Structure formats: structure tokens, C-alpha cells
Structure 1
Amino acid sequence: MFSWFKKTDLELSPEVNGIITLHGKPIAGAKILRRLTYSDKEFNDSAITDEQGHFQLPVKKVKLRVSSMFDTAVTQNLVVEYANKQTEIWTAGTTNTLNYDSIHKLLSDMTCELTSPDMRLEIPSLTPKSPPLGVGSICTFKHDEIILEKELWK
């Protein structure tokens, strides 16, 4: 009866591992901002790239009240701050959860060239019957074989 008072563990983002480059060269000291939302709640953290341009953000899990009665907007954004400029390198959003195997694989090993064009990617959803999830990114991915479709963002 009071199950809607109970908080649930929810994964908002898997571990993120990547390399940031500019004109093909790794960038040291760039700040990676991760902005996550679940309904009207925001969860932000950041990482700094090392000498090889590598950064890592840990899995982000939170305890929230989750309603099965209503759809809830969920978003993930990754932004690079470097040389007084912000560049969005990943954006995804849907309802209820972004805990997809395809997102886990893509965010596990990515290379983001800051001069690359914005791409729209279609990746598999949670179930084969669901439509693909559209995400935006400028990155390339070690596991890009799971991407169903790529096109320049218009």
C-alpha cells in the first residue's frame, strides 16, 4: 500500500571512460562535466583529463522514489570545458531509465575530438520491440558495432 514511499536504487549513468583530443592531440586539464537529471532532480559531477587526455567518471547510482504510474524524464549530458569553451560530447534522454546495455558499451571506451561534427546516433533500446534510442555525440566508440544508424546532426 505504501510502496510509493519506498526509495529505489537507480543507475543514472554507467562508468564513463574516454579520451579528449583537439586536432588529434590529447588535451590535458580539460574538465568533463556530467549532468544527469531524473524528473526535476539534478545530479552533477566532473573529472579532469590527465596528460594523455583520458578521463573517467564512476557509475552514478542514486536512491529515489520511482513511480510506476507516471513516465519520468531522464537525461544524460557530457560537456567538455576547455580554453573558455564548452563542447557537448554526449546527450541522451528518454523516459524512466537510461540503463541500457548499448549506453554502457558506448560510454565504456570513447574518443572525443572536439572539432568533430555533431552526430545523431540510433542505438538499441531495452527491448527488441521498443524503437531505437536517439543520442547525440561528437565521439567515436570502441563498441560502435552496436550503433544502428549514424547521421550528421542537422
Structure 2
Amino acid sequence: MGLKKTELELSPEVNGVVTLHGKPITGAKVHRYLSYGDKEFNDNVRTDVDGRFTLPVKTAKIRVSPMLDTWVSQVLVVEHADKKIEIWTAGATSVLDSDSIKLLLSGIYCELSAPEMKIGLSRKNPQSPLLWMVSTCNFKHDDIIIEKGLNK
């Protein structure tokens, strides 16, 4: 008996601005790498004259096993001046807590010279351990971040 395919949101819409030393970067390529188990979904977009970019919601029909934990990840990389800089990395088993991630990714401000920070968010179940991600960005909704520190 095969598993039924389920429509899953792998990434919410991402709205951001990319800067270097406080100045917007025009024409940088923002790559989004998403994975669900062994399936990968990649797309990219270029920043406009104000350094802004938007990546649409990404959903996929995937066979989901209720018995197995599947590794899910989201990575955003900015390609600019022959460099690739990871600005967002998140991963978890089964599903990424979409509400807090959706809120964070709705307004990200990425300064390419900023240090990598480790960010902890609470999950839907308050008893669960924090959901951790790494980012060089600041967020419009950073009030939902529970813990933040340099990524060592």
C-alpha cells in the first residue's frame, strides 16, 4: 500500500533586502535550497535596485510517512561578486515550525558583512526544545526570537 501524497509547505514567502556595508546590492542572486528527505527543490531570484527580493511560497506534493521522521531544511544563499554567502539555514525533523519561520522570513534584512548568529525560536509545543537556525540577517519580527548569540 503506497502512501498518499500530501501538499506540504517547504518554505513560506521570503521578503528581504540584501546590503553590503549598509548599501543595497542590485542584481545579487538569492538562491533558495529546500529539501524534504531525499527530495530537493531549488529556485532563485535577483535583487532589485533597492536590494529587495521576494521568493514565493514553495509547496510540494510529497509522500509523508507518519512512522518516520524526515529531515527538512531551508537554506538561503546570496551570490554576489563571485562569493556565495549563506544568510539563512534552518533544519528540523518532520516539519519546520511554519508560524515562527513564516513571521521571520516575511521581513529579513541581510547585511553581507554581518557575523553568523545562532537563533532559537519556540515551537508550537512549548515543552519542545527550541528550534535553532543560523543567519546573518536581522528580522522585522525579531521579537519572537527567544535566544540569539554568535554562531561559534
TM above 0.5, yes or no, is: yes
Residue 68 (structure 1) aligns with:
66
TM-score, scaled to structure 1: 0.97
Instruction: State whether structure 2 residue 105 is matched by structure 1 residue 107.
Output: yes
What is the CA–CA distance in structure 1 between the aligned matches of 2:137 and 2:126, rounded to whole Å? 25
What is the SS of the residue equivalent to 2:66?
A: coil
Q: Which amino acid aligns with 2:73?
A: T
Q: Which amino acid aligns with 1:121?
A: I
Bigger drift between 55-64 and 99-108 goes to: 99-108
Runs of 4+ off more than 2 Å: none
Contact 1:31–1:47 (CA<8 Å) still a contact in 2?
A: yes
Residue 118 (structure 2) aligns with:
120
Contact 1:14–1:99 (CA<8 Å) still a contact in 2?
A: no
Gapped regions of structure 2 (runs ≥ 5): none
Give the length in aligned residue pairs: 152
What is the SS of the residue equivalent to 2:50?
A: coil
TM-score, scaled to structure 2: 0.98
Gapped regions of structure 1 (runs ≥ 5): none
Residue 44 (structure 2) aligns with:
46
What is the CA–CA distance in structure 1 between the aligned matches of 2:22 and 2:52, rounded to whole Å? 13
Percent pairwise identity? 59
What is the SS of the residue equivalent to 2:125?
A: coil
The CA deviation at 1:12 is 0.4
Tell me the C-alpha RMSD between the 2 structures.
0.8
Contact 1:19–1:110 (CA<8 Å) still a contact in 2?
A: yes
